[in-house]
Amino acid sequence: MTESDLSIARAAGFSECAIALRRALTTTPVGWLLAVWFCWGRVPSDAIFLWLGTAATIWAGSLLVLQQLIVKGPKLALHRKRFRWIAALDGLGWGSLAWFLVGYDPVLDAILMALLCGVTSINAQVYGTYVSAYYGQIGILWGVSVLGLMLVTGSQSAIDYAAGLSVFIALTAYYTRAISQRLMEGIRLQHANASLAAQLRSALQKVELDAATDALTGQWNRRALDDFLKHQKTFSILMLDIDFFKKINDEFGHLVGDDVLRAFAQRLREFLRSGDFCARYGGEEFVVVLPETTLPTAREVAERIRTGVAELPLLNKPKVQVTVSIGVATMAQGQSINELFAAADAAVYRAKNAGGDQVRMHMDMPLQVHAL
């Protein structure tokens, strides 16, 4: 485990421990009721209520501070000291049991020591992801309990109980350390898996985007165009062909020609709506899909594109100014995609034959449909 992974695991473990401790503290009164049930009739009621008052005061203060800590976001670097104080006070509350409730009945003393062992075992799970606080909690519990046994009873049985509690706490601490290490490793692996999953999703999204994007212009490609058209019902298309593009390649070279295509694609997007779809169809041809757009509106968009392209040079060094021929077609009822594209292609052909820099509409006439 690297230092970075260890820091991440510790921070996550601290946060989980804070939430687990809050849950454990809310069930603490159940343990008090159990202790009172054992002691009732065997221990003076004033001793019972004095212990309950002491434990409840510590418990209420600890729970309040812990709740505030969680609301702020339990961060290891900021809250570790306060958290350890909460854990230590929790141990003090339970350890004080030996000061108030033992020494009245040998059998009861044994039961109460067993109760403290149970508390220690339960807290091992609570503090599993932040074991240093657990050591503080059981250390205080052990010290206060043993001191109470020695001072309150001072009998041989008290020594036996103290020895038994000490062995139990020592063994619990020993095994909890190993369990904590496995939990921290699990947190680290969980974080690493989440990070890898995020990287994989990002890589898959990039692959999908690359597969649907024209590498030269950054516009969508034919594959993306086909997928987009599958979900369209009422729409128009614009088929655009840069006029005399071969002349640009012959005069300036193919690298400049590539720059012209990139600049043309960027200029084209300036005249489209956010919901319009633009794809490079091949060579110097582009297709724009205008969803929910009628033929007259599509022609207006095409004219706006035509004048916008011709208005300013696409490149300044070298200075390259182009025009574009545009064919407009609208999907008719019963018409196939191939027929629609054949209509737009025929309109482009007429525009180019008329000298270019024109917008032409498709005509109602039989069309020779070729495979796209």
- Sign, CA torsion 329/289/211/286: positive
Task: Give dist(CA 113, CA 125) in Å, integer.
Answer: 19
Q: Which of these is catalytic: 185, 284, 285, 292?
A: 284
Give 277's contacts (C-beta < 8 A, 6+ positions apart).
220, 225, 228, 288, 289, 291
Give 324's contacts (C-beta < 8 A, 6+ positions apart).
240, 241, 242, 243, 264, 305, 306, 309, 310, 356, 357
* Side-chain-side CA neighbours of residue 76 (13 Å): 17
Query: Quick check: is 284 catalytic?
Result: yes
For the chain, what is the largest distance between any 2 Cα atoms, rounded to a whole number of angstroms?
116
Bridge pairing between strands 324-330 and 359-361: parallel
Q: In what order do the strands lie in the sheet with 359-361?
A: 277-282, 285-291, 235-242, 324-330, 359-361
> In a 10 Å sphere around its CB, with 0-12 CB exposed, 13-18 middle and 19+ buried, how is residue 116 labelled?
buried
Contact predicate 204/268, CB 8 Å: no
Task: Give dist(CA 205, CA 197) in Å, integer.
Answer: 12
Bridge pairing between strands 277-282 and 285-291: antiparallel
Write the DSSP assignment of 7-21 as a string of letters. Answer: HHHHHHHHHHHHHHH
Q: Taking Cα atoms as reference points, which of 56, 61, 50 lies closest to residue 32?
A: 56
* Catalytic residue set: 284
